[in-house]
Amino acid sequence: MDNITLIGMPGSGKSTVGVLLAKLLGYQFLDVDLLIQEREGALLQELLDLRGTAAFLDAEEAAVHTLACRHTVIAPGGSAVCREGAALHLKELGPVVYLRVPLEELTRRVQNLSTRGIAMEPGQTLADVLAYRDPLYRKYADLVVDCPPGQELFQTARLVMDRLRASGK
């Protein structure tokens, strides 16, 4: 395995599972949200508030296109799959794993919708965002890992590692 990208909804555990997975594999960890903030000089929510969702998605895609790493677990924002160019670049870097978390669990985990920096249009709910993105996550994923309520994040990281090795990815 060269790089591994974890995709999924906000609250799916991409960043935390990513750090744990990187430790298990002896890889680096890269959080694309932090890269966007550094490149743009603003917090994610500020970018969304000041520039809007489309400009945010453009900035996210541009940040993803700068990635040229090896032996890294990558955690892009949940909206990276909303731009085909970004999603395809992530696939070029190595296997893409969709951390699929049920809506009820996402709702429990994500309490700060208006301040978290989630690319969604005014009036949209988490359910709306999941309904739109789930087919995209499935389209670009090489592997789907279900993350049921109560599963520890370390267990998820272990499962991702085991499933990737079993699949030969």
The phi and psi torsions of 21 (rounded to 5 degrees) equal -65, -40
**Chain mean pLDDT for the chain:** 93
Confidence of residue 128 (pLDDT cuts 50, 70, 90): very high
Start-to-end CA span in the chain (Å): 6
| pLDDT value at 115 more than 70 | no
8-state DSSP, 94: S
- For 4-158, CATH gives 3.40.50.300
Contact between residue 29 and residue 22 where contact means Cβ atoms under 8 Å apart? yes
> Other C-beta atoms within 10 Å of 107: how many?
16
Specify the pLDDT at position 113: 67
Q: What span, in angstroms and rounded, lies between the C-alpha atoms of 89 and 91?
A: 5
Alpha helices in the chain (DSSP H): 14-25, 32-40, 44-51, 53-65, 84-93, 103-109, 126-140, 153-167
> Other C-beta atoms within 10 Å of 98: how many?
27
| pLDDT value at 96 more than 60 | yes
Tokens representing residue 142 in the block: 């090489």
Predicted confidence (pLDDT) per residue in 9-67, tens digit? 999 999 999 999 999 999 999 999 999 999 999 999 999 999 999 999 999 999 999 99
Specify the pLDDT at position 85: 96
Specify the pLDDT at position 122: 82
For the full predicted model, state whether its pTM sits above 0.85. yes
